[in-house]
Amino acid sequence: MALTRRRLLEGAAVGTAGLVVGGVAGKALNEGDGGGGGGGGTTNLGGKAQEVINARKLAAEDVTRAVQSFVPPGRGDMDDFYLISSGGHSGQLLVMGVPSMRILKMIGVFTPEAWQGHGFGSDSSEPVILAGTDAKNKRTSPSRGPLTWADTHHPALSETNGEYDGRYAYINDRANGRIAMIDLRDFKTKQILDVPNLESSHGGCFVTPNSEYVHISTMTPTLVDDSDIDKALDNFSKVFRGFSTFLAINPKNGRFDLDRSFQIELPPYTQDLADCGKGESEGYAFINSYNSEMATGGNLEGKESLEIGASKNDYDMLHIINWKKAEEVAKAGKTKQLNGMRVIPLDVAAAEGVLYLAPEPRSPHGVDVAPNGAYMTVAGKLDPHVTVYSMAKVLKAIESKDFEKQDQYGVNILKFDSVVAGRVELGAGPLHTQYDDKGYGYTSLFIESAVAKWSLGEPYHSGDKAFKLVDKLAINYNIGHLCTMEGDTMKPAGKYLVALNKWSIDRFPNVGTLKPQNFQLVDLTGEKMELISDTPIGMAEPHYVQAIRRDRLKGWEVYPPGTNPLTMEKDPDAIELGKEKIERKGNMVEVWASVKRSSFKPDIIRAKLGDKILLHLTNVETAPDATHGFAIPRYNIECSLDAGEVTNVEFTADVKGTFAFYCTEFCSALHLEMQGWLLVS
Ligand code: CUA
pLDDT digits (tens, 9 = 90+) for 128-150: 999 999 988 888 999 998 999 99
Region for 454 from its dihedrals, namely left if φ exceeds 0, alpha if ψ lies in -120 to 50, beta otherwise: beta
pLDDT score for 261: 98
Give the integer Cα–Cα distance in Å for 642 and 627: 4
Q: Burial letters for 37-72: b for 16+ Cβ neighbours within 10 Å, e otherwise?
A: eeeeebeebeeeeeeebeeeebbbbbbbbbebbeee
pLDDT score for 44: 58
Cβ atoms of 482 and 489 within 8 Å: the answer is: no
pLDDT digits (tens, 9 = 90+) for 501-559: 999 999 999 999 999 999 999 999 999 999 999 999 999 999 999 999 999 999 999 99
What integer is the mean pLDDT of 365-386?
93
Task: Give the percent of the chain with pLDDT over 90.
Answer: 88
Instruction: Specify the DSSP class assigned to residue 538.
Output: B
Q: Is the pLDDT of residue 32 over 80?
A: no
Closest-CA residue to 388 (of 373, 404, 400, 403)? 373
- What amino acid is encoded at 574 in this protein? A
CA of 617 to the centre of ligand 1 (A): 14
> Is the distance from the beta carbon of residue 474 to the nearest atom of ligand 1 less than 6 Å?
no
pLDDT score for 311: 84
Q: For residue 259, with 0-12 CB atoms within 10 Å meaning exposed, 13-18 middle and 19 or more buried, which class applies? A: exposed
Q: How far apart are the first and last CA of the chain?
A: 64
What integer is the mean pLDDT of 174-193?
97
pLDDT score for 235: 97
Total-model pTM: 0.92
What integer is the mean pLDDT of 622-650?
97
Closest-CA residue to 169 (of 63, 62, 86)? 86
pLDDT score for 362: 83
Q: Is the pLDDT of residue 42 over 50?
A: no
CA of 225 to the centre of ligand 1 (A): 55
> Is the distance from the beta carbon of residue 65 to the nearest atom of ligand 1 less than 6 Å?
no
- What amino acid is encoded at 47 in this protein? G
CA of 665 to the centre of ligand 1 (A): 5
- Return the SS3 of 72: coil
Give the integer Cα–Cα distance in Å for 430 and 446: 6
What integer is the mean pLDDT of 206-218?
98
Kindly list the distances between the CA atom of residue 358 and the CA atoms of 34, 273, 372, 521, in Å, as whole numbers in the listed order.
Answer: 49, 15, 21, 35
> In this structure, is the dihedral angle defined by the CA atoms of residues 208, 483, 168 and 173, taken in order, positive or negative?
positive
Give the integer Cα–Cα distance in Å for 473 and 498: 12
pLDDT digits (tens, 9 = 90+) for 553-598: 999 999 999 999 999 999 999 999 999 999 999 999 999 999 999 9
Which ligand 1 atom minimizes the distance to the CA of 627? 1
**Contacts made by residues 249-255, CB under 8 angstroms, sequence distance 24+:** 249/158, 249/168, 249/207, 249/211, 249/212, 249/213, 249/214, 251/211, 253/183, 253/190, 253/568, 254/158, 254/167, 254/168, 254/181, 254/183, 254/190, 255/181, 255/190, 255/191
pLDDT digits (tens, 9 = 90+) for 470-495: 999 999 999 999 999 999 999 999 99
Residue 365 binned pLDDT confidence (cut-offs 50, 70, 90):
confident
Cβ atoms of 238 and 147 within 8 Å: the answer is: no
pLDDT score for 136: 86
> Is the distance from the beta carbon of residue 674 to the nearest atom of ligand 1 less than 6 Å?
yes
